[in-house]
Structure 1
Amino acid sequence: MPRAVPREAAPRGGFHVLRHTYASVMLEAGESVVTLARWLGHSSPAVTLGYYAHFMPEAGSKGRTVMDGLLGRRGRPGGG
């Protein structure tokens, strides 16, 4: 039977820090919340958003850019 690693010998945060870092980097890179939720084993994307939404500061900007282009607002200051 393997010996348990004493708590003081384990890195602080350990696996949880790696998991949190992975999730935040993936969202900042634009990965889908639905996909990330599946990879992390969350019961729904809402759970993932509850933990990591603050890592998505540009959420919505892709859609706004597409709509601005569609409406001919490209290159105009203030988008209008």
Structure 2
Amino acid sequence: MSIRRRTDFDTRVWKFALVQAGVIPEPRPGERHQAAREHGMHALRHFYASVLLDSGENIKALGTYLGHGDPGFTLRVHTHLMPSSHERTLRAVDEVYKAADPTAGGPQTAQEW
């Protein structure tokens, strides 16, 4: 099978895979797959972005990977895909405190100034 365009891949490979996985129903004979952004390549693109953001990739790099010319655009479009940033932040701060020497400072150090 020759796939020359993104739409060919979407209908011949991607939608077929979604049907096989039970994500979307198979179209009736003679009909096309239902047109829905959440079932097309757009969903795969968002999945890719969410995986990278969740693993800590920065917005500028992600924008480059997605072909965006403006990191601000990437931030506006994909910010909602960063649900674990709060937890990641808490872990980062916890790690700093775990690594700190408890005898190297504290409230008494501030009072010495």
TM-score normalised by L of structure 2? 0.45
Give the aligned partner of residue 8 of structure 1. Answer: 32
1:58 to 85, 92, 102: 85
2:65 counterpart (31, 39, 47): 39
Q: CA deviation at 1:38?
A: 0.3
* Count of residues paired in the alignment: 71
- Superposed CA RMSD: 3.5
CA offset at residue 55 of structure 1? 2.2
Distance 1:25 1:11, change over 3 A: farther
Post-superposition shift, 1:22? Answer: 0.5
Question: Radius of gyration: which is bigger?
Answer: 2
- Measured in 2, the distance between the counterparts of 1:44 and 1:70 equals 37
Of the two structures, which has the highest relative contact order with CA contacts closer than 8 Å and spacing of 6 or more?
Answer: 1
Where does structure 1 lack aligned partners over 5 or more consecutive residues?
A: 74-80
1:30 aligns with 2:70: no
Deviates further, 40-49 or 4-13: 4-13
Unaligned runs of 5+ in 2: 12-30, 103-113
Structure 1 residues 43, 72: closer, same or farther in 2, change over 3 A?
Answer: farther
- Relative to structure 1, the CA distance from residue 47 to residue 11 in structure 2 (aligned partners, 3 Å threshold; closer, same or farther) is same
1:1-56 alpha-carbon deviations (Å, 9 max, x no partner): x7x86882377431111001100111011111111000001111111110111222
